[in-house]
Structure 1
Amino acid sequence: MQNRKMEKNKAYDYSKQDIIHALKETGISEGDSIFVHSNIGFLGRLQDAVYPEDHYEVFKAAIFEVIGDDGTLTVPTYSYSFCRGEIFDKDRTPGMCGFFSEMVRKDTLALRSDDPNFSTAAIGKKSGYLVKDVGEHPFGADSFLARFVDTGGKICNINLNSASSVIHYAEKLFNVPYRHDKEFRGKIADCGKLKDRTAYYFVRDLDKPENVPEFGKFDKKAKALGLVRTADLGKGQVVSIGARDTVLLVKKGVEEDPFFLIKGKAVLI
């Protein structure tokens, strides 16, 4: 009874040590490269965190306490700049992937790729290899995602399911029938000068609702196969899955059903 009362009166929902424990419980370990999609605002109150920056510093410290100096933290900083007809400046253009990703992007230790639609920011040992001089296609052979899969990275999602952008890379790799390449042209800012740039996106037809992604199917199958590790954190959870496991599961899934990852049987483009 007394323990329950103490729990009820706690001034926080989770702590730095809880973050560390959750990461380790999901299989994150020293030397790992992790790709984090996050929604940390719904985890509840973080111990001793007053300002938003406090949340970032605690999460960053906890992550690197687990992955160490040989590890690498990567996050999506997607801006969709060329899709929106805008100039892309990797030093200034904000991403659209939430608070934690933006804080990583602004970190003085971070490197950011120059993909005008699907940029990625990274901190750590392999950051240069993962994000520098990426190709024109965000899901192509010389993309961040291809390198991340090749290096044996792990998806580590905070308060989200096990789906990730690696699924789109796999869709491109296995050439699913409901998507096709679309070319975008625009300008990127580089050292104060504007340069022409071409970028591609493996798009779906926005007028066909049956082609809308349904990644809950992926998450359900991945969990059923034991590929996903989950740990509670605050009012939410942390989940992890290997990037290579993601690719292999998509391969198997689309071989059995080409429309495995969408809401309905696609109207082909």
Structure 2
Amino acid sequence: MKALLKSHESLIYPKDLNYTLEKLGLKQGDTLCIHSELFRLGEVLVSKQEFLQSIIDSFFQVIGNKGTLIMPTFSYSFNRYKNYDKIHTKSTMGILSEYFRTMAGRGGGIRTDDPIFSFFIKGYRQNDFTSKLLKTCFSSGCVYDKLVEFQGKIILFGTDKLGYTFSHFCEEKAKVNYRFFKEFQGIITDENSQSKKAKIQCYLRKENTKSDLDVEKQIAILKQDNNFNRIEFANSCIVCIDARKYLKANLKALKKDKFALVKD
């Protein structure tokens, strides 16, 4: 078995990743949404494709054939006044996300229609997540909404400072007054090369008001609820967060203080 990484003069093997994921509490049948930042992990000792595939394989080995993997493949296409092609528009969310997205042509999985916040979903529950365009990016039935319904988990892989887009889903649920809906339009091309005009509303930050997410405040809320399971891995870490508890804690915090999630 080849080592994947060199970290602090130690070699990291696929079995080490599997062990860490199991230690985090991941188990057969889990539904996981993975946000990733890989460059801090260490020196990669195998090819790019082998490294990325090994990470995906490890997750599936731990969650099994009744598990589901989700990764954000956000493109922000309509925000940038560009059209969105479900097959060809690249993810802006890092190399693991982009590699995972291309699995549509290598054994299945679906990408959602959202031309701003799309996700790629592969596994047992992939057809339970709607791929169809909703009225807003994070309205009822969106990927994060379904993640809560299925008692899913959010994984921050290689970072504990990035990957808190779920917080914006919570803000939309709470109807915070420092954001507003703006409609964007463009053309979506589906997996069958069929194109259509479409529109979607995105909940944007208001200018000249407190609205920037404060990651440290968010982490503190999660920790207060014992919902920030962090384990060192290689040169960085992996974090596991229960999505349902995440939503409940944020809605409670926002009810108490409407600026609970933003920078002072």
Q: Taking structure 2 as the reference length, what is the TM-score of the superposition?
A: 0.90
Match of 2:18 among 17, 20, 39: 20
Gaps of at least 5 residues in structure 2 are 1-6
Match of 1:71 among 67, 70, 76: 67
Matched ranges for 1:71-150 at <5 A: 71-107=67-103, 108=106, 109-150=108-149
Report the Cα offset of residue 142 of structure 1. Answer: 1.9
Q: Is the 8 A contact 1:25 1:230 kept in 2?
A: no
Instruction: Indicate the residue corresponding to 1:192 in structure 2.
Output: 193
User: Rg: which structure is higher?
Assistant: 1
Q: Is the 8 A contact 1:113 1:134 kept in 2?
A: yes
Q: Which has a greater percent of helix?
A: 1
1:57 aligns with 2:53: yes
The amino acid that maps onto 1:74 is I
Q: Residues 8 and 259 from structure 1, CA distance in 2 versus in 1: closer, same or farther, beyond 3 angstroms?
A: closer
* C-alpha separation in 1, matches of 2:185 and 2:9: 56
Instruction: Indicate the residue corresponding to 1:257 in structure 2.
Output: 257
Say which is worse superposed, 125-134 or 74-83, in terms of deviation. 125-134
Q: Residues 9 and 183 from structure 1, CA distance in 2 versus in 1: closer, same or farther, beyond 3 angstroms?
A: closer
Report the Cα offset of residue 255 of structure 1. Answer: 1.4
Query: What SS does the corresponding residue of 2:200 show, helix, strand or coil?
Result: strand
Q: Is the 8 A contact 1:134 1:144 kept in 2?
A: no
RMSD of the alignment, in Å?
1.7
Report the Cα offset of residue 194 of structure 1. Answer: 2.5
Instruction: Indicate the residue corresponding to 1:41 in structure 2.
Output: 39
Report the Cα offset of residue 28 of structure 1. Answer: 1.1
Instruction: Indicate the residue corresponding to 1:267 in structure 2.
Output: none
* C-alpha separation in 2, matches of 1:230 and 1:80: 29
May I ask how many residue pairs the two structures share in their alignment?
253
Q: Is the 8 A contact 1:138 1:145 kept in 2?
A: no
* C-alpha separation in 2, matches of 1:234 and 1:111: 31
Report the Cα offset of residue 192 of structure 1. Answer: 3.1
Q: Is the 8 A contact 2:178 2:210 kept in 1?
A: no
Report the Cα offset of residue 160 of structure 1. Answer: 2.1
* C-alpha separation in 2, matches of 1:192 and 1:61: 30
Q: Deviation per CA, 1:143-172, whole angstroms, max 9, x where unpaired?
A: 111111111110011122275222111111
1:237 aligns with 2:237: yes
Instruction: Indicate the residue corresponding to 1:3 in structure 2.
Output: none
Report the Cα offset of residue 36 of structure 1. Answer: 0.4
Identity level (%): 26
Q: Deviation per CA, 1:149-201, whole angstroms, max 9, x where unpaired?
A: 11111001112227522211111111111111111111111333431101111
